[in-house]
Chain A
């Protein structure tokens, strides 16, 4: 009886989940309501959490609630603080959720909603949440050490350095691709540009207010900032409508690129209290609030999906990005299914705040399920808008041209019937002059969010407000990530260069930090610039590079966890990490290989370089280049992208080599060889308090 009552709810959930999923997967031709997808996802998450994560916690990790965590052993009230599990859940979720789970699924929607949805759900249960949870466990058992240190300790010095250099390159690519999203969203949009520029002024005001006028009043200053932010969105509409003011905030993509590069440099050398900290407050609270709001609105509105389950672009000929379903859907959606970047967070502040090992399950596995739900909402949002509008926004000008008539004709020819009037009206509804070729995910998501939110609050009249609210919401935390990421990259670089030039290591030296900052900004700035001038729109080359590198990092993290399981003599449970590792290696290696060597210039970097080189040899200029110099630039850029992809392949293969060696070595040993900090019981005082 007890057994039945304990499991009955989950049996019911399994049935509901299976039924919803079947409805989503098997319906052909008729429209599907978004709630089916949400129900399927949530039921599967709950069942996976109840059974699979418990299996990992009890059998694979053998979590021990009597074992003192680093937060308990090193409690200093500052870095190491035993923290209530719900509060820590919020902290961890706020750190892992960013632009990734919002953008990837939107781009993936070009193949229809089904492939992306299935990968998000299956990926998170078997790969993403497992990785976050395992890394949190491994780091917690080792005083909260970082991923780089853990690889060095468990696998050796050389793999440690490879992982560190790999992490730096990933960081550069992430910053470039995030900045590219902002550029794509703001180019030619005075309303968007004004509001984003206003956030800088608002953050500076908040910084000064919080430092000198009302020190320490974080809540008060955040509320004040949010009110000003709403004011800026409203004012932005006036600015865009004014013939005097609008030109001052209208920039093309190249101008915005230079502005962002300059901004990135200045922002990351300013004191943190002045700009970064207050903007982080704004972006974090806005992010959490908007995610909750979107979830509520979606249940309330219950929109129908207008995108089909599959489109013809599963064959790899899609306009937003090229490449067939396998392997490209699995790298296009990184965050939301599995994200290597989370390994850095799970081995960052979270293990130092964990009050009890037993709570690692809810925080590691649970928070990732939540992020996956955000990704599901993103793919749903992209699928509720008219597919014709979706493709108009996500196809580069090279394919659909620059007029609404031409674009409507070409897109209708693909089978997504749309009229020029609808494209014009959509742009007008959201307060923009054009919506054509706004790839990058953010604007598409913003149109979808505006359609959903305006059905709850404000109707048609509020569409433009909600669109710019959504753009601001994304731009805000992307800028925060750019600025914080440049800082983090600068420290990594100082660390790496310090090995060769000792004076570079000094973080208090202005020369050393300015040099490292400039190098870091130059690195992502260059990649951003080449994305902006890319003939196929930039997203097509940079997003796969980002996906490959992020999944590669996840592979590295999961390989580390596999080695740790072997060293703990728990190899019979190691399939839990080996399974996702193998899948990620197959996907990243296949995608990496195709991106470098594929003969189709839309996919292969070398093929595109070759195509432009051949044109140079023949003395012709191909669009979008306007001169021979630009032609040469495109050739070089694509060779550089190819080199980066080769580098990522090298990192994966090298790590695999060291992992296999370490596992066999551990098998030959007859005792446990993992380097955990020795067991220490939870002190009686803490145990009583808990």
Chain B
């Protein structure tokens, strides 16, 4: 019983982790981390919604002079 619970929370953790890794491969940082950081340090500043956040990151990744991946 306890083992099952441990296993399912481990699996959930792993899924979250892999999801973050996959998103980071295409240059999308973790939204929850952004929210936590903003609330902790800049709670006075407006917070982007998740969709705004993704658009902002897409623009930053491709819309500037970033080199286009490797040869």
Contact = CB atoms under 8 A, between A and B. Distances in A.
A99 B71 contact: yes
Contact of A87 (B21, B55, B56, B71): B21
Contacts of A97: 70
B71 A174 contact: yes
A439 to B, nearest CB: 17
Interface string A590-625: 000000000000000000000000000000000000
Contacts of B65: 487-488, 491-492, 495
Interface string B4-37: 0000000000000101111111111110011111
Nearest to B32: A77
Interface residues of A, number: 61
Interface in A632-646: none
Main secondary structure of the interface of B (DSSP, over half): helix
Given A272-B63, A341-B67, A484-B69, A90 B21 contact: yes
Interface in B30-55: 30, 33-38, 41, 50-51, 54-55
A273 B55 contact: yes
A87 B66 CA distance: 20
Interface residues on B, range: 35 or more
Interface stretch (A275-283, A308-316, A400-408): A275-283
B71 A335 contact: yes
A100 interface: yes
A342 B70 contact: yes
Contact of A98 (B24, B59, B70): B70
Given A90-B21, A91-B27, A77 B34 contact: yes
A331 to B, nearest CB: 13
Given A77-B37, A216-B54, A334 B29 contact: no
Contact of A218 (B28, B35, B41): B28
A349 B26 CA distance: 12
Contacts of A99: 71
Contacts of B19: 219
A432 interface: no
B67 to A, nearest CB: 4
Given A87-B21, A98-B70, A345-B70, A277 B29 contact: no
Given A77-B33, A81-B33, A90-B25, A96 B62 contact: no
Interface in A292-348: 334-335, 339, 341-342, 344-345, 348
B67 A345 contact: yes
Nearest to A335: B71
Contact of B26 (A218, A342, A495): A218
A485 interface: yes
B56 A78 contact: yes
Contacts of A483: 68
Interface in A170-188: 171, 174, 178
26 contacts: A75-B37, A75-B41, A77-B35, A77-B37, A78-B29, A78-B34, A78-B57, A79-B60, A81-B29, A81-B37, A83-B29, A86-B21, A87-B17, A87-B20, A91-B25, A95-B69, A99-B71, A171-B67, A219-B23, A280-B62, A335-B71, A339-B70, A341-B71, A345-B70, A477-B69, A546-B71
Interface of A: 75-79, 81, 83-84, 86-88, 90-91, 94-100, 171, 174, 178, 215-216, 218-219, 272-273, 276-277, 280-281, 284-285, 288, 334-335, 339, 341-342, 344-345, 348-349, 353, 477, 480-488, 491-492, 495, 546, 550
Counting from the closest, the 5 A-B pairs by CB-CB distance are: A484-B68, A491-B65, A77-B34, A485-B68, A100-B71
Interface of B: 17, 19-30, 33-38, 41, 50-51, 54-71
